[in-house]
Amino acid sequence: MGSVTSETADELTLAMGAVAASLPGGGEERPGQLAMARAVARALSLERHLVVQAGTGTGKSLAYLLPLVLSGRKAVVATATKNLQDQLAGKDLPQLADALGARRRLRFAVLKGRANYLCRQRLSELRRQEGAGSEEMALFEPVDSTAEDERESERSAWDAAADGDAPVGGLADQLRRLVAWGEVTHTGDRADLPFEPHGRTWTSVSVTARECPGAFRCPSGPDCFAELARARAAAADVVVVNTHLYAAHVASGGGVLPEHDVVVFDEAHAVEDVMTDGLGLELTPGRLRAAVVSARGLLGPDHAQVLDGVSDCAARLDVVLESLVGKRVLHAGRTPGDELSAVLELAAGRVAALLGALRRASTADTETSADSTDITARRGRAVLACSHLLDDLGALAELGPERVAWVESSGPGGRWRTLRAAPVDVGQILSERLWPTVTGVLTSATVPPLLARHLGLPGGDCDQEDTGSPFPYATNALLYCAAALPDRRGADAEPALHAELRALMEAAGGRTLALFTSWRAMRRALDALRPVVGFPLLGQGELPKGALLRAFTDDEAACLFATMSFWQGVDVPGPSLSLVAVDRLPFPRPDDPLLEARRERAGEAAFREVDLPRAATLLAQGAGRLIRSSTDRGVVAVLDRRLATAGYGRQLRAVLPPMRFTTDRRVALEFLTRVTTGREGPAQ
């Protein structure tokens, strides 16, 4: 493997020192950070892909940002979480720009998907309608509604309520506030709103990529907030996006983001799943209904039969999907003429008829009044949404062996059903569409086993590094496996697990994050332990996530019981967290349709190539909640004896931070007691 020149290495070392010295508190020496920065500089110089495992505390953001800036390459940084995106744009990049000063100009921008920006055209239509005194809201239903939109709007409203920004007022009142905000905002970015609107309200004044005709075909194109954001991104040296938007860029053939030389995937452990979503498609009855809503005010009464036909297909699809939730569908072994295929074929014909009616009506337009311009713009959005819908129906009808389709449910009582299709192997797509055109830097505190292969990175042009972590895991943390617990299939397994967890919690003085692999297991543990322990027990779902974490952090004795959404992204440094308990090894469900297809493709190597890497990554993410600073101390307790007794246990332990390992309960309890009482000393 080649290396950077001594001149470049010296410049990087000096710049790293200057930037670190400019940080609050003067920064601190981090050998792993400098090693990672040199590896990134080398990768950029040689145009080789790089995968870096950078343990917690490495300071990986600066380690890839600084060599990127010094290289002069145009780069996109893609992150899986909003928290990291905000950290990069609001903290890391501004600090780096200030530290470099006149020596190296740094221009950066954040770019989001179109649906995150206020649509000036929809806003102007709404303003004119409101000026005419109309109270009709049907015209402003979302053109492209999906169950995922509903889930996101509910989650954002719930989380906002925890921060004191609950959705304000009714839909009409919120729309009026959005109109007023549209007059003063410089960005049109939903994140800049002074209140949290209901999801339905926001979709009334925004558009998705599937319905936007583009700046040149839109009456409000010259002033479009999304296009202004794209222009800022095109002029920037570093563009920060989320990984979902980058997946849309790959799916579009490179038409979403500005041209760039380098892509950095931070939180690389999430890339395969996000790419799987982004390179797939989803169909809901809501998309069919939304097509009808968008077209109803644009077509005359002579088209009522066409509109009713699409509505009927939406109802039929809902019924069919309800009976198929959790099942794999549209695969090679399906029965010819099955009910789902028949509904999809019928829907394709009726959506095609609706699309034809909209296009004929568009051709017939001759007026040039403001009202006519609004109608033309609305019709253009409806045509695009129907076109994308028809394309997806066609793709589902011709689903090949390289894709898998299944039905899933969400929402209260599972009332929203979604038909999803995704590639079985995203690596093949990325190897063809992405890696030949950009240099990739992928980094995470936990790099999944076989990540490079699963993402299609070319072996001969890809290097891998592990910078470790600056935190003293060997002295400050202990990995304990409760190997004496009975087999989980036995009747005595659950009471024994609860007793084990209680003993550990009491030794820790509370201060416990208990992570469960199922909602049912979490609830049963809460019900069993609340009456018998003297610590406050907080349960996921009892408060919004932000409020739960604040309550847990503020009360050192509190314990938090949670499921999968808390295995990642939870950062609680200090004495509030001394014990992370994992109820069982987080292997994926055997009936997951997508993973089932990947297992079939892997054959005899399925467990090693599909199940084990996913379990190892999630276990490492969960264990990573414990040590978040150099002074944190505590125990990771895995209440599943397979970590010690199964043949693959050693492979799972190898991906965890370098903690001392024990199966002796007494050692774990004594170590927790020392942590609780403040007595120093390594794990014995």
Per-domain boundaries in the chain: 6-113+227-275+426-467, 135-190+279-422, 473-677
From 478, 524, 536, 528, select the one nearest 502 (Cα to Cα): 528
From 460, 530, 542, select the one nearest 502 (Cα to Cα): 530
Q: Average pLDDT, stretch 557-583?
A: 93
Query: Exposed (0-12), middle (13-18) or buried (19+): which is 90, by Cβ within 10 Å?
Result: exposed
Supply the pLDDT for residue 244: 95
pTM for the whole structure? 0.89
Supply the pLDDT for residue 681: 47
Supply the pLDDT for residue 537: 97
Task: Answer whether CATH 3.40.50.1370 is correct for domain 473-677.
Answer: no
pLDDT above 60 for 400: yes
pLDDT above 80 for 119: yes
Q: How far is Cα 287 from Cα 339, in angstroms, rounded to an integer?
A: 19
Q: How far is Cα 10 from Cα 33, in angstroms, rounded to an integer?
A: 15
Q: How far is Cα 133 from Cα 631, in angstroms, rounded to an integer?
A: 63
Cβ atoms within 10 A of the Cβ of 523, count?
16
Q: Which of 160-164, 319-323, 602-606 has the least mean pLDDT?
A: 160-164
User: Which spans in 398-510 are helix H?
Assistant: 426-433, 451-454, 473-476, 493-508
Each residue of 407-436: pLDDT tens digit? 999 877 788 999 999 999 999 999 999 999
Pairing of strands 579-582, 634-638: parallel
Beta bridge partners of 282: 420
- Alpha-carbon separation of residue 233 from 94, 97, 326 (angstroms): 16, 16, 40
Phi, then psi, of 296 in degrees rounded to 5: -60, -40
pLDDT bin (cut points 50, 70, 90) of residue 134 is: very low
* Tokens 């954002």 sit on residue: 156
Q: How far is Cα 574 from Cα 674, in angstroms, rounded to an integer?
A: 15
What's the order of all strands across the beta sheet hosting 579-582?
537-539, 559-562, 512-515, 579-582, 634-638, 477-481, 660-662
Instruction: Express as a percent the part of the chain with pLDDT over 90.
Output: 68
Supply the pLDDT for residue 201: 87
Q: What fold does the segment set 6-113+227-275+426-467 form as a domain?
A: Rossmann fold (3.40.50)
Rg (CA), the chain: 27
**473-677: same fold as 6-113+227-275+426-467?**
yes
Q: How far is Cα 617 from Cα 517, in angstroms, rounded to an integer?
A: 14
pLDDT bin (cut points 50, 70, 90) of residue 5 is: low
In sequence order, which residues have a C-beta less than 8 Å from that of residue 546 and are 6 or more positions away? 159, 162, 163
Q: Which residue has the higher pLDDT, 155 or 667?
A: 667
Cα(first)–Cα(last) distance of the chain, in Å?
A: 41
Q: Which helix (H) or strand (E) holds 637?
A: strand 634-638
Supply the pLDDT for residue 596: 95
Cβ atoms within 10 A of the Cβ of 176, count?
14
Q: Which of 236-240, 488-492, 630-634 has the least mean pLDDT?
A: 488-492
SS3 3: coil
Each residue of 278-288: pLDDT tens digit? 999 999 999 99
Between helices 6-22 and 31-46, what is the axis angle to 10°? 140
Each residue of 57-109: pLDDT tens digit? 899 999 999 999 999 999 999 998 888 888 899 999 998 998 887 677 899 99
Q: Which residue has the higher pLDDT, 57 or 320?
A: 320
Q: How far is Cα 127 from Cα 296, in angstroms, rounded to an integer?
A: 20
Question: Quick check: 314 and 292 in contact, CB under 8 A?
Answer: yes
What's the order of all strands across the beta sheet hosting 328-329?
281-283, 416-423, 403-410, 328-329
From 642, 674, 621, select the one nearest 478 (Cα to Cα): 674
Q: How far is Cα 190 from Cα 116, in angstroms, rounded to an integer?
A: 6
Each residue of 6-37: pLDDT tens digit? 556 777 887 887 787 776 655 666 889 999 99
